[in-house]
Amino acid sequence: MSDSLSQTFLAITRNNTDLEWLQGALAPLGQVVNASGSLDELLALVDVTFANLVFVGLDREHATAQSALIEGVLEAKPMLAIVALGDGMDNQLVLNAMRAGARDFVAYGSRASEVAGLVRRLSKRLPAVTPNTQLGGLTVLYGTQANTDGALLASHLALVVQKSGQQTLLLDLGLPCGDSLALLGLESSFNFGDALRHLRRLDATLINSAFTTAEDGLRILAYANNDEPLEQTSAAELYMLLSALRQHFQHTVVNLTGQPDSEALRTFISHCDTLLWCTDQSVLDCRRNLAVLNQWREKGMKLDHARLLIDRYLKGTAPNSEALEKTYGLEIIAVLPLSPEVRLNAKNQGQTLFNLAPRERLTQGLKALGERLQKRPEGLEPPSTRWFERLLGAGK
């Protein structure tokens, strides 16, 4: 899991308004994941998110069931801290929460500084959380522009990591749907939506029999046209899915290019090891990317693991790479040339760039970037000057 996110909190709230209030208050500290009122799901989420603090909303109509939920959680996980949410003027709710075992009570609508301060104080008294270091690496490619190039880049990066000897999955959730399969001349009968519906039985047997296999053993799980929009997928479902996938694959490359902003998208962004933010030189593309990037920064999302990937680069055309790096406030990790003929051939012929044009600058740039990802799944060091100049080719 990325250092960009220090903690994960679980919450059961009355509605989305309450959830958004809590997420806003705790954004500088971590991500708040919405959970259902099911004890089994809540306990499963505790296991996969390594959360040690859970918020439970209380109200008069369901107070008995909500108190029983708190007691059930603490019976199974006595080291957890439960913070109750409710009407601060209702003394009976406060008493119910304390009797059930809640550590503290927060009134809905409290100031963000008060909520964050309480969480900081509780966190100091809670046992340290030890994430599962055996989970595979997670790299996300994101950019607001929806086109086939996102799938082209992600599939080639995943192929490079797979060729390094790491069992790799390409999770293609970019728009348009399923372009990675088409680019590699493949079809699939098992898609992202199917994986969500079979979360409970997503084991090695299902993965080996249902996931599509590409060149060199790369596995692909793609987003299909009939799958529900990604923004309708809950963060809880994504946690369960990612936990299962990262236990079975040494590295997962996720293509999210073209996806609109949502809680589901932010779950991927916040929990990946490396975020490759993809942009080109066009003003329109930059404007859309910066709108999302600045919104996330304003919400307190930490993006220390983000790097700028400039695609379809034209030397001598403004803005140049230095201007883009300054505008985005992100360190450049790679600059990939336009190479229109090479890209078109790859898209039309269903073959990889490694087979069609192994010596082209675009192919070599993707190979170099993929090698860096597989070497440092936990994060990326600044590139050396020599490596950076080589990736730029002839220069800016």
Provide the token pair at 351: 């073959």
Which residues have C-beta within 8 Å of that of residue 45, sequence separation ≥ 6?
10, 33, 35, 51, 236, 239, 240
- Domain membership of residue 208 (yes or no) is yes
Q: State the distance between the two ends of the chain, measured CA to CA, in whole angstroms.
A: 35
Report the distance separating Cα 172 and Cα 265, nearest Å: 13
- Same-domain pairing of 85 and 48: yes
**Domain match, 109 and 153 both:** no
Per-residue pLDDT tens over the stretch 223-235: 999 999 999 998 8
Mean of the per-residue pLDDT values of the chain: 89
Say yes or no: 115 and 191 in one domain. Answer: no
pLDDT 10s digits, 315-352:
999 999 999 999 999 999 999 999 999 999 999 999 99
- Return the pLDDT at 391: 35
394 within a domain of the structure (yes/no): no
Q: 273, 238, 279, 234: which is closest to 253 by C-alpha?
A: 273
Are residues 80 and 50 in contact, defined by beta-carbon separation less than 8 angstroms? no
pLDDT value of residue 384: 35
**Per-residue model confidence as pLDDT tens digits over 188-205:** 999 999 999 998 888 999
pLDDT at 200: 84
3-state secondary structure of 104: strand
Q: Which of 243, 305, 262, 198 has its CA nearest to residue 51?
A: 243
Position 116 pLDDT exceeds 60: yes
Q: Residues with Cβ < 8 Å from 375, sequence gap 6 or more?
A: none
pLDDT confidence of residue 133: 58
Contact between 223 and 178 under an 8 Å Cβ cutoff? The reply is yes
State whether 21 and 73 are in the same domain: yes
CATH number of residue 304's parent domain: 3.40.50.300
- Asked whether 26 and 50 are in contact (CB, 8 A), the reply is no
Which CATH number is 71's domain given? 3.40.50.2300
Least confident of 177-186, 282-291, 367-376: 367-376
Q: What is the pLDDT of residue 301?
A: 85
- Percent of the chain past pLDDT 90, that is, above it, reads 72
Residue 136: pLDDT band by 50, 70, 90 thresholds? Answer: very high
Contact present, 48 and 239 (Cβ < 8 Å):
yes
Residue 385 forms part of a structural domain? no
Q: Do 115 and 254 fall into the same domain?
A: no
Helix axes 63-76, 91-100, angle to 10 degrees: 30
d(CA 310, CA 336): 6
Same domain, 173 and 316: yes
> Do 185 and 234 fall into the same domain?
yes
Query: What's the rounded Cα separation, in Å, for the pair 320 and 372?
Result: 24
Between 35 and 375, the more confident residue is 35
232 and 84 belong to one structural domain: no
Whether 215 and 278 map to the same domain: the answer is yes
Mean pLDDT of 262-270: 92
What percent of the chain clears pLDDT 70, i.e. is strictly above it? 92
SS3 147: coil
With respect to residue 388, please indicate whether it lies within any of the assigned structural domains. Answer: no
Quote the tokens at residue 394.
């002839």
Q: Answer whether 80's CB lies under 8 Å from 73's CB.
A: yes
Query: Residue 25 above 50 pLDDT?
Result: yes
What are 44-91's pLDDT values in tens digits?
889 888 899 999 999 989 999 999 999 999 999 999 999 999 988 889
How far is residue 294 CA from its own chain's centroid? Answer: 18
Q: Between residues 365 and 387, which one has the greater pLDDT?
A: 365
Segments in the chain forming alpha helices (H): 16-26, 39-49, 63-76, 91-100, 112-125, 148-163, 179-183, 192-197, 204-210, 235-248, 263-271, 283-298, 321-328, 340-349, 353-356, 361-375, 385-392
Both 166 and 301 in one domain: the answer is: yes
Of 76, 98, 125, the residue at which a domain comes to its end is 125
With respect to residue 31, please indicate whether it lies within any of the assigned structural domains. Answer: yes
Same domain, 107 and 145: no
| 259: CB partners within 8 A, 6+ apart | 142, 173, 174, 175, 230, 231, 265
Q: Taking 70 as the threshold, does the pLDDT of residue 96 lie above it?
A: yes
The pLDDT value given to residue 395 = 36
Is 204 among the domain residues?
Answer: yes
Alpha carbon distances (Å) from 379 to 80, 138, 191: 30, 10, 29
Do 314 and 362 sit in the same domain of this protein?
A: yes
In the predicted model, what is the mean pLDDT of residues 122-151? Answer: 86
Q: Find the domain containing 32 and state its range.
A: 7-125
- Does residue 161 lie in a domain region? yes
DSSP for 256-299, please give it. -TTPPP-HHHHHHHHH-SEEEEEE-S-HHHHHHHHHHHHHHHHT
Place of tokens 């078109």: 344
Residue 95 is predicted with a pLDDT of 93
Return left, alpha or beta for 289; rule: phi > 0 is left, psi -120 to 50 is alpha, else beta: alpha
The total number of structural domains in the chain stands at 2
Q: In angstroms, rounded to a whole number, what is the distance separating the alpha carbons of residues 29 and 26?
A: 5
User: For residue 133, which amino acid is it?
Assistant: T
Q: Is residue 1 part of a domain?
A: no
Residues 241-261 have a mean pLDDT of: 95
The neighbour count for residue 165, using CB atoms within 10 Å, is 9
pTM of the model: 0.84
Phi, then psi, of 231 in degrees rounded to 5: -65, -15
Sequence letter at residue 2 = S
